[in-house]
Structure 1
Amino acid sequence: MKLTIFHTNDIHSHLNTYAKISKYIRDERQKLSHDSLYIDVGDFIDLFHPLTEATQGKENINILNESHVDVATIGNNEGITISHDDLNHLYDNAEFEVTCCNLFDLNGALPRHIKPHVIKEIKGVKVCMIGLTAAFQQFYEALDWKVTSPLLALKNEISQLEGEYDVLIVLSHVGIFFDEQLCKECPEIDVILGAHTHHYFENGETRNNVLMAAGGKYGQYVGKVELEIEHNKVINKKAVLVDSESLEEVNVDYEQIGKTLLNRIILNRSFSLPRRLYSASYTTDLLCESVLEHTDSDCAIINAGLIVKGKVDNQLTEYDIHQMLPHPINTVSVELSGSELKQIIYIAMSQSYMNETVIGFGFRGDVFGGYVFKNISYIESTGQYFVKGIEVQDHEMYKLGTIDMYTFGRYFPTLKEKEIKYYMPEFLRNIFEQKLLQNEKNE
């Protein structure tokens, strides 16, 4: 018996590219004379796209339905960029099964419509698929979810399923290093379909007789795994990738539909919200002030590159704000001693990332830009630091408002070790919009 498994991962709402991938998979499956499955390994949604934003991912699920996907798992974008309630209802209309065995609500129940595993019987062969998602614990906790160790969750699920399956496929939205560990610790796995770290294998990679397959990011590739099964055991397996650049283009209007849905008017007067990367602007000052107020902090720091597009016009819509701030980035606050805050300000004042092109951390823009401050000042000649005009004292405590992008250790290593308070599910664009409306009301 032959079984072909088509797989995608980390599409991140690149829906124009996905349209031709979807057509390719549907066409190829029709040509086959044997059975096939189509599996998506998470981060199919990304709120940077206006259609995804407008529908909180539900239209993405309709698109997967149209693609005849069989099984999917969730990535961190499904898990932590929409609200608890929206995740619970994300798959209400799904015509496919969803599996993830390491995410629970506070009562220990899986999100609605999500199963710890899926078993499909194909010509007498029981194919078991188990989904896993990356354990962004603090983010999930802020949304009233509990995410557990993917390794322990998987081992527990496998032990409970002993004797109930013939072929074992893991849908791992955890990353390549985790998948390599799985190859060592769980040799009973036949195939790991990988995601999250945007890696890819042109012809798969086999370790400890476990085949790893992954397709990069943004629809770069379509994955295809071929299994040969005899006497209910996999006797041969191989993986290949198809470059989506080679696929036939499909005309879609997803962007325009999203723009139409986000047509709510925020400002109906003449305004100027410019984008400036290397000098202060009204836009970045307003955004930094909104972070300060939303986190109820003593001071705040952001970077100018968060403003992806400027807008000068006579009408501002929800779509315009989405285009200005497309990032799935939340605000955070952290308590710091004066000496720790000085270290943060010193690093920021050096502006060493100003021209850097940023990839990851939820950032959906291009250049980092200069740091922007609120209630912070510095006299270089004397080495004095001030918050609200008062000199910072080393042993006093200060509350800094900033963004979750800085908490991973890349920009301010000190923050990685600190207890962080996450303000979720509101994104920067949500609090920026509220600030604009508040200012409008007060004028």
Structure 2
Amino acid sequence: MERELPVLKQQCDVVVLLSHLGYFMDERIAADYDIDVILGAHTHHRLDPAIEIEGTLIAQTGKLGTDLGKITLQIDQRQVTSKEGTLQSIDAAAESSLATEAVLERLQQSADASFREGVAVLDRPLDISWTEPSTFASFLVEHLRQWCNTEISMMHSGIILASLREGAVTKGDLHRICPHPINPCIVEVKGSNIKTAIERSFTSKMVHLPLKGYGFRGVKLGIMVFAGLNVEVVETTEGEYDVLSILKEGSPLIEDKWYTIAVPDMLTFGNLYPEIVQSTSKRYMMPELIRDVLLWALMKNTES
């Protein structure tokens, strides 16, 4: 902002900021910078009408696509003289427009056709468990490691919502069991921080956490699973977990050594795993989603 805004102001008449920082950060930006409009998101505020702070109009349309936002700017002599923002229910807009209904129907038909497309044929089922080791979780985390070409990978088993039976698998099946808009990510983390993150993951609170956000669309996080690491864990009589050992190629992790790990990007956000979030080396693999890695893995194994 400090570097780019003065340059932009010399090149244009109106400055609109697309923000996914949340309403409270948008308030700070509006107070500190000369911006005409902030189109915000993340905190799911529904601002109707939009709010003006220090000459900056802040607009947010809630969540889940329930509303359309409309911004009206009055410009005179290349200066914005007035501004306002309102919302309109998406249901009301769709019902009042035959053209919109036709577009939605066409898109739905296209999606349905794509979902019916076959991608693989399994000769045996892939079973998932959120509380115990399972073939499906092991399968995906290993192929996440291979796809990212890292020495280690780790993910929560809850990223897979259901098992796959033997037989034909379609794109619709993959979307149903892995609906998350989550990208693979490669991070560098010290051995000591990996150990802390693993111990944090094996608590009943984390395993059964009904996470909402960070792209996660599952029921609960589930246990952490690994490739490139041998993690020995036992469940206690109180329903908690004890991490007995963490070994890489038969040896404990070196605390001060940096390791390259493939993870779902959700582990690099918020306060789930500060040990991973604080890494200064993160490479987000885009536009591929974890679902694309699963598709690649299934096709690769079907071909072989």
Smaller-chain TM-score bracket: 0.7 to 0.9
Q: Does the 8 A contact of 2:119 with 2:299 survive in 1?
A: yes
1:349 aligned partner, one-letter code: F
Structure 2: runs of 5+ lacking an equivalent: 96-100, 235-241
Q: Answer whether contact 2:114 2:171 (CA < 8 A) is retained.
A: no
Cα 1:310/1:233, change in 2 over 3 Å: same
**2:57 aligned residue (206, 211, 229):** 211
1:222 is aligned to 68
What residue number does 2:239 align with?
none
2:273 aligned residue (404, 412, 430): 412
Match of 1:438 in 2: 300
Partner of 2:4: 153
Contact 2:183 / 2:287 at 8 angstroms: preserved in 1?
Answer: yes
> Letter of the aligned partner of 1:183 in structure 2?
A
Post-superposition Cα deviations, 1:293-321, rounded to whole Å, max 9, x if no partner, equal: 22333432111121134332521123322
Aligned counterparts of 2:28 and 2:192: Cα–Cα separation in 1: 40
Q: Distance in 2 between matches of 1:179 and 1:155?
A: 19
Distance 2:38 2:184 in 1: 34
User: CA shift at 1:286, angstroms?
Assistant: 0.6
Aligned residue number for residue 427 of structure 1: 289
Q: TM-score, normalised by structure 1?
A: 0.56
Matched, 1:332 2:185: yes
RMSD: 3.3
Partner residue in 1 for 2:138 = 285
Matched, 1:261 2:123: no
C-alpha distance after superposition, 1:57-77 (max 9, x if no partner): xxxxxxxxxxxxxxxxxxxxx
* CA gap 1:433/1:242 in 2 versus in 1, 3 angstroms: closer
For 1:382 and 1:186, locate their aligned partners in 2 and report how far apart those are by CA, in whole Å.
49
Q: Report the Cα offset of residue 263 of structure 1.
A: 4.3
Deviation at 1:430, TM superposition (A): 2.3
Q: CA deviation at 1:366?
A: 4.0
Q: Does 1:179 align with 2:26?
A: yes
Contact 2:126 2:164 in 1 (8 A): yes
Report if aligned partners of 2:141, 2:153 keep a CA contact under 8 Å in 1: yes
Alpha-carbon displacement from aligned partner over 1:371-399 (angstroms, at most 9, x marks no partner): 22333223667943322443334355544
**Equivalent position amino acid for 1:429 in 2:** R
Whether the 8 Å contact between 2:120 and 2:169 is mirrored in structure 1 is yes
CA distance in 2, matches of 1:197, 1:156: 29
What does residue 15 of structure 1 align with?
Answer: none
What letter corresponds to residue 367 of structure 1 in structure 2? K
Which consecutive unaligned segments of at least 5 residues does structure 1 have? Answer: 1-148
Q: Write out per-residue CA displacement over residues 70-124 of structure 1, whole angstroms, 9 at most, x where no aligned residue.
A: xxxxxxxxxxxxxxxxxxxxxxxxxxxxxxxxxxxxxxxxxxxxxxxxxxxxxxx
CA change 1:371–1:243 in 2 (3 A) is: same
The C-alpha deviation readout for 1:171-216, integer Å capped at 9, x for no partner, is 42343345324432444x5443334554331222121233322212
Q: Which amino acid aligns with 2:295?
A: E
Shift in CA distance, 376/344, structure 1 to aligned 2, threshold 3 Å: farther
- How far apart, in 2, do the equivalents of 1:270 and 1:412 lie? 37
CA distance in 1, matches of 2:71, 2:288: 39
8 Å CA contact retained: 2:50, 2:86 = yes
C-alpha change, 1:391 and 1:154, in structure 2 (3 Å) is closer
Paired position in structure 2 for 1:385? 246
Say how many residue pairs are matched.
Answer: 287
| Aligned residue runs from structure 1 range 360-399, under 5 A | 360-374=213-227, 375-378=229-232, 383-399=244-260
Alignment of 1:38-49 (within 5 A): none
1:143-193 deviations in whole A, cap 9, x for unaligned?
Answer: xxxxxx4x53233211334xxx4xx35242343345324432444x54433
Contact kept, 8 Å, 2:122 with 2:302, in 1: the verdict is: no
| 1:323 to 1:230, Cα distance in 2 relative to 1, 3 A | same
Instruction: State the alpha-carbon separation in 2 of the partners of residues 298 and 351 from structure 1.
Output: 28
Q: Deviation of residue 402 (structure 1)?
A: 1.9
